[in-house]
Amino acid sequence: NRFKLRIRFYDGNPDSPVFLEIKKRTTEVIRKVRAALTRGGVAKLLDGIRPGPSDLIASNGNLKALAGLNEFVDTCSAIRAAPCMYVSYTREAYVSPESSQLRVTFDRALYGAMFDPRTAFQPPAPAYRPMVGGTVLELKFTDRFPSWMHTMVEVFNLHRRSMAKYVECVQAAGLERGLAYRMPTGMTR
């Protein structure tokens, strides 16, 4: 059982949202809490100021998003978390046209770079390339494992294994695993 905090962005466009995420794993179940914020709202967070409802992306400004924002900020504050590593990769994703409950992704060209607050929302230049040895395939589903995925796993003799991209990047950078990164003490609750 574990969780991870992520600040996720997809491009360097200043108008694009940034997502605060908490990904929680309890036994075999993974749950994600997510809130889309303006880049200004996330900049506040990085400066130790609590973002508020006005920092949520308008279409995402519902109670669930506000709860996600509050949970993320409260968790960061409780453990004094701060960003330390960019993790970047090229993702090829396939989603079922009938349901968003099925997704297959292929992640390639993984690399990490140390977090730099001066260029917080710009994709970093490659710095550390973990030796992954291929493409990371993720099969994602809600509720039940589809029979066609089961067949694919058998035909290609696939094996389930943990692949934490963040941990791979931290290790490639030569940093101590589990090293604590702390939020500035001025974080308001």
Q: Supply the DSSP string of 96-117, one letter for each residue.
A: -SS-TTEEEEEEEEEEEEE--G
Under the banding of pLDDT at 50, 70 and 90, the label for residue 177 is: low
Q: Which of the pair, 141 or 35, is modelled with greater confidence?
A: 35
The residue written with tokens 């349901």 in the block is 99
* Gap between the Cα atoms of 30 and 21, Å rounded: 13
Report yes or no: 20 and 81 within 8 Å, Cβ to Cβ. Answer: no
Residues forming beta bridges with residue 93, ordered by sequence position: 105
Under the banding of pLDDT at 50, 70 and 90, the label for residue 176 is: low
Q: Residue 128: what residue type?
A: Y
For the CA atoms of the chain, what is the radius of gyration? 18
